[in-house]
Amino acid sequence: MNDTTQQGRPDAEALASISFAGSMFAGAIASIRHHEIGDDGSWDCWGTPEQEIARLTRALDRMEAAIGAARAELRILARRRSVAGSVGEG
């Protein structure tokens, strides 16, 4: 099965799933960029070393969670498309 329906149109459901997965990842990036990173692209350090370690750890945890959620969504999509592609084969 590919990215188009039998009529040659894009697979809207697959594209929506990909968009959803990408948006989870992009949302985490945007939030971290807005709240934690300065205009020059560097990490804003305004606290003590302990506070900054905690802030960076939280940001990394958010990215890790977003990556995991996006990958899980893509696995579901891949499994769904693999099963759909195998129907009638054999």
pLDDT per position as a tens digit, 17-50: 999 999 999 999 999 999 999 999 999 999 999 9
Q: What is the pLDDT of residue 1?
A: 45
Q: What are phi and psi of 47, to 5 degrees?
A: -115, -170
C-alpha closest to that of 66 among 38, 24, 32, 35? 24
82 or 53: whose pLDDT is higher? Answer: 53
Q: What is the pLDDT of residue 81?
A: 85
Q: How many CB atoms lie within 10 A of CB 13?
A: 12
